[in-house]
Amino acid sequence: MAKRLKKLIIYIFISIVALISLYPLIYMAFNSLKDNNEIFSTNIYGLPTHFYFRNYISAVTQFDMPLFFKNSAIVAGVTVAFTVLIGMMFSYATARMKWKLANVTRIYGIIGMFIPVQIIIIPLVIIVRDLHIQHSLLSIIIPYIAFNLSFTSMVFYASFRSLPFELEEAASIDGANIYTTFFRIILPLVKPAIATTAIFIFLNSWNELFTAMIIINDNALKTLPLGLLYFQGQFATDWGASSAALTIASLPPIIFYLFFSKQVENALTVGAAVKG
Amino acid sequence: MRNVLSKKAAIFIFVIPFIVLYTFIMMYPVFQTVIKSFYSWDGITAPSFIGLNNYKALLSDSDFLPSLKNGFIFAAVIFVVEQGVGTVLALLLSTKELRLKGSKFFRTSFFIPAVLSVSVVGQLWTQMYNYDHGLINNFLGLVGIGKVGFLSDPKLAIYSVAFTNGWQFMGIMFVFIYTAIKSIPEQYYEAATIDGASPAMIHRKITLPLIAETYKVTFTMSITGGLQAFNNMFIMTGGGPGNATMTLTYLMYKSAFQRGEFGYGCASAVILVAECLLFTLLINKFVARERIAY
């Protein structure tokens, strides 16, 4: 009996924590379908009573939601593709190719993990200005690629080292050159590492605020996290519409997580571990 | 074989994009920041050398000590939420004897906030903390407690802001600790159970020491993450009320990007990074002093 009571108490505790984790998001989704009257007084906690879709229309029309969404998608997509490619090539050269400075170069590439963005940002603003890219999405894509390189190279280094060295030997006997060997034979074997790094970099760049906020000034270049900030000022009193905008911005990562939870958890913990 | 893997041209092509980008965008700015912290510099005209003056001015800046203190409070709050709650949940859900169901569901619930943007989390919680209409004050009214100025009370604001960060990332820490516990070999527990040890005893004597290496990582993340805090207060309070939620990063942001004192901003960035390094070293020294292999 005491044992069952203890178990019940533990369940209640865990459920309360789960509720605290989840309910704010449910509250946000509910609010996105309510008018202010419901949100503020008549129906604070529960399901919306008459699905007020106008909030989504205001979020999309009065405000540049589609533009911000598009910018975020471009930034995240390009950043993922180039970071993975550049990081992978670097790790391959340092993990499997034979040259004197391989190890020194690899270690040089890891130092970035211990560098917080705060100590980079001021000179970075000047660099972006000097490169004359401040009026293009490249002004944040290039820094995002650089920020994620150390992490990417570490993950790929580990998986390249775990492959048997006979692979290149066999390929070279078959007459394949180094590029064919790398792209056709080695890459397909490190797909799990590609998934881990791609997910981590995607979420990172989709959600990044600090660098984007400091570097981007043009409204036309704002990414979602940045665009949402100015929504808050403009529509501070219209909680329904702002909840709709927050919901739109949150759906892609949440849906992605629900479909690939194992990989996302793995990517975020590996990423965090490597960064810590 | 030898030829293929030691082809100089290929090595060069594989390495050079990384080296150029990384050196130019990551390493070079670090040196620039350190050097420019000794200069008076507005980011436009030529910088002039002023020695340690930026650092001296920083120490007497009325925002400096509050910023330092708020960094500590932020770190402490997220440490308790992330490591404390994360550990308790991980221990409960991984204890075999309890046979708890639904661990997959719980894990997903704890983790979801971590995939959101801090922009979303900050604004959502600003609404929830709202004095007049916020969810939490409504709820407190329901159970007969008066309204609380979560973000407007200067004493409380930093705790409210820090909590939202802990709320967001507790799930990552939970998965971290939970995975570490799950990787401990079963025999350890069997032996301890045969010897008649209670679950609490087993966790204290076996689980926690064996995941000390993981703690080294998660502790460093919570503490340095807390010291570097900025986004949450930038969105929720703007550093206020007054300077009640200022942090070192905020100080750097304000001096460099609002007042155009780039050299001064560099000095606060250097102080911040030195502080983070110090704590990383301390954690490495005092957590998991003996490496345990199994």
Per-window interface: B 44-83 vs A, CB < 8 A: none
Whether residue B83 lies inside any domain: the answer is yes
Nearest neighbour of A229 by CB, restricted to B1, B170, B235? B235
Local confidence band at A274 (pLDDT 50, 70, 90 cut-offs) = low
DSSP structure class, residue B202? H
Mark yes or no for CB contact A268/B115 under 8 Å. yes
Mark yes or no for CB contact A256/B115 under 8 Å. yes
Collapse the DSSP code of B255 into the 3-class scheme (helix H, G, I; strand E, B; otherwise coil) and give the result.
helix
Q: What is the pLDDT of residues A133-167, one digit of tens each?
A: 989 999 999 999 999 999 999 999 988 988 888 88
Inter-chain contacts counted by CB atoms under 8 A, chains A and B: 269
| Confidence (pLDDT) at B270 | 96
Q: How many domains are there within chain B? A: 1
| Confidence (pLDDT) at B292 | 53
- Domain range enclosing B220: 63-286
User: How far is residue A59's CA from residue A243's CA, in Å, rounded to a whole number?
Assistant: 9
| Confidence (pLDDT) at B268 | 95
| Confidence (pLDDT) at A276 | 45
DSSP for A13-30, please give it: HHHHHHHHHHHHHHHHHH
In A7-25, which positions are buried (b, 16+ CB within 10 angstroms) versus exposed (e)? eeebbeebeebbeebeebb
Whether residue B202 lies inside any domain: the answer is yes
| Confidence (pLDDT) at B77 | 97
Residue A217 has pLDDT above 50, yes or no: yes
Average pLDDT for residues A39-51, to the nearest whole number? 76
Collapse the DSSP code of A133 into the 3-class scheme (helix H, G, I; strand E, B; otherwise coil) and give the result.
coil
| Confidence (pLDDT) at A175 | 83
Burial zone of B238 (CB within 10 Å; 0-12 exposed, 13-18 middle, 19+ buried): exposed
Average pLDDT for residues A8-14, to the nearest whole number? 92
- Give B21→chain A minimum CA distance, Å: 6
Whether residue B51 lies inside any domain: the answer is no
Helix axes A261-275, A138-161, angle to 10 degrees: 90
Whether residue B258 lies inside any domain: the answer is yes
Whether residue B26 lies inside any domain: the answer is no
Nearest 5°: the CA angle B224, B226, B230 is 115
Q: Return the residue of A nearest to B101 by Cα.
A: A11
- Give A249→chain B minimum CA distance, Å: 8
Neighbours of B148 (CB within 10 A): 16
Cβ atoms of A241 and A57 within 8 Å: the answer is no
pTM of the model: 0.91
Average pLDDT for residues A46-72, to the nearest whole number? 84
- The residue length of chain B stands at 294
Per-residue pLDDT of chain B (294 residues; tens, 9 = 90+): 456 787 888 999 999 999 999 999 999 999 999 999 999 998 888 898 998 999 999 999 999 999 999 999 999 999 999 999 999 999 999 887 777 888 889 999 999 999 999 999 999 999 999 988 888 998 898 888 888 999 999 999 999 999 999 999 999 999 989 988 988 888 888 888 888 888 788 888 888 888 888 898 899 999 999 999 999 999 999 998 999 999 999 999 999 999 999 999 999 999 999 999 999 999 988 886 655 554
| Confidence (pLDDT) at A272 | 67
Residues of A in contact with B228 (CB under 8 A): 116, 118
Whether residue B3 lies inside any domain: the answer is no
Q: Return the residue of A nearest to B170 by Cα.
A: A21
Q: What is the pLDDT of residues A73-95, one digit of tens each?
A: 999 999 999 999 999 999 999 99
| Confidence (pLDDT) at B1 | 47
Whether residue B46 lies inside any domain: the answer is no
Whether residue B226 lies inside any domain: the answer is yes
Mark yes or no for CB contact A122/B269 under 8 Å. yes
| Confidence (pLDDT) at A234 | 62
Mark yes or no for CB contact B269/A118 under 8 Å. yes
Nearest to B94 by CA among B176, B225, B182, B217: B182
Per-window interface: B 96-155 vs A, CB < 8 A: 98, 100, 105-120, 123-128, 132-133, 135, 138
Mark yes or no for CB contact B176/A172 under 8 Å. no
Phi, psi (deg, nearest 5) at residue B75? -60, -45
Domains in chain A: ranges and CATH: 57-275 (1.10.3720.10)
- Give B219→chain A minimum CA distance, Å: 9
Nearest neighbour of A25 by CB, restricted to B107, B112, B170? B112
Question: What CATH number is given to the structural domain containing B128?
Answer: 1.10.3720.10
Residues of A in contact with B30 (CB under 8 A): 115, 119-120
Residues of B in contact with A22 (CB under 8 A): 109, 112
Cβ atoms of B92 and B107 within 8 Å: the answer is no
Q: Return the residue of A nearest to B263 by Cα.
A: A122
Mark yes or no for CB contact B231/A27 under 8 Å. no
Nearest to A227 by CA among B246, B119, B288: B119
Mean pLDDT of chain A: 88
Nearest neighbour of A224 by CB, restricted to B117, B176, B253? B117
Q: Return the residue of B nearest to A93 by Cα.
A: B11
State the DSSP H helix or E strand holding residue A39, giving kind and residue range, or none if neither: none
State the DSSP H helix or E strand holding residue B39, giving kind and residue range, or none if neither: strand B39-40
